[in-house]
Amino acid sequence: MSNPKTRRAQSIIKPDRDRRFVTEDNPFEAMMNRFDDAARRLNLEPGLYKVLRSPEKQIIVSVPILRDSGEIEVYTGIRVLHNTSRGPAKGGIRFDLAVTLDEVKALAAWMTWKCAVVNLPFGGGKGGVICDPTTMSAAELERLTRRYTAEIIEILGPDSDVPAPDVNTNERVMAWIMDTYSMHKGHTVTAVVTGKPVEMGGSLGRKDATGRGCLVVTKRALDRLGIPVEKAKVVVQGFGNVGSTAARLMAAEGMQVVAVSDKSGGIHDPKGLDIPKVIEWIKEHRFVEGYPGAERLTNEELLTLKCDVLVPAALENVITSKNAEKIKAKIICEGANGPTTAKADAILDKKGIFVIPDILANAGGVTVSYFEWVQDRGGYFWDEETVNERLEKIMVKAFDEVVAMAEKHQVSNRIASYMLAIDRVAAMHRMRGLYA
């Protein structure tokens, strides 16, 4: 007789069985396109190919909550663990109406490769709740978070699955997850999530980590192309935490940030924007729209500006086969996950644009999340200077390894990053063998 828990697990874990509905903007298909190319070049064994292309777990749960009005609303929550051969799953949780299983699967796989590229002892995971958090009160968001946590609590844990903030979630949401998990365990478990408040075991330097990682690899790329940092013109699409941090740090290094944008549109000054003033404007007015002394332009126009460095730090699929030919940047540093479609890759390669792929460029965030996890488990915390120094060391090493792989195999940086990551994950599977 089968175990009821086993039957329940089998009912919620649904392996990916086919690849229908292939479109350019499908995030899972974009990831698989790059994976297939890299696996072929590595001569990956057919059995390992099947293992690495399939998420380990795909969990879909109902998340009922009591609204402030007294009505009960039921939301859908998703958590995907793509691969945990190298360590616990690591990946964010997003609250958004656009959350889909395909998107979460793609992002979980990206996390597997991202952690492997920078050689962290993590696998990939991702999660989300399909909802509009802008319509919810703080109390409703807390109830949603705690119920979602309770629904997936069997897979959570410092040794199994460690969430982090993502779209529309933040350190307060992580605090609720940590508290809910701890209440179920009967003792405080700070290492179950990262991106927490510093007072609760969060790491110094975590907020700036993704943007700082973009700065580190961009400087490395500029040096490689012989472009002086102080003469580099930078365009940043997306001015959330990643984009604004990258812009601020790049400007502080002497680069000219000539254009930035958010969902209200973009602003452009060929002489360079005063980024601290732009940040202050947004704190007061919420959006860049209306910022004085700068030319207005659309997000689409911003992407095609002539510049040395383009940092797409907003959403997926902003550089496609429709606009890739118009891109004039010498370097693209992908601050967002999946900003470039697979079809656009070939066009950018042909144009000779030096692309720093997302699984390398924005790995600073997960790297400092790893530092947070290590500090929580050790009960010893580092100063911010130590965090930043160790982050730079890891990012520089990963950048050099990706470029070396690209040169060795005569492939793009993106395919090289996938080859490096897949090779590391596959090596772990070969050593561990197959449990049966």
Q: What is the DSSP string of 339-403?
A: -B-HHHHHHHHHHT-EEE-HHHHTTHHHHHHHHHHHHHHHT----HHHHHHHHHHHHHHHHHHHH
Helix, strand or coil, per DSSP, at residue 123: strand
The residues assigned a catalytic role are 126
As a whole number of angstroms, the distance between CA 129 and CA 102 comes to 13
Which of 356, 361, 423, 372 has the alpha carbon at shortest distance from 395? 361
Yes or no: say if 78 and 128 are a contact pair by the CB < 8 Å rule.
yes
Yes or no: say if 298 and 262 are a contact pair by the CB < 8 Å rule.
no
Please give the structure tokens belonging to residue 224. 């490689």
Yes or no: say if 318 and 237 are a contact pair by the CB < 8 Å rule.
yes
Q: Running DSSP on this structure, what letter comes out for residue 87? A: S
Read off the amino acid at residue 59: I
Burial of 121 per CB tally in 10 Å (0-12, 13-18, 19+): middle
Please give the structure tokens belonging to residue 103. 């998107």
Torsion sign across C-alpha atoms 314, 319, 323, 327: positive
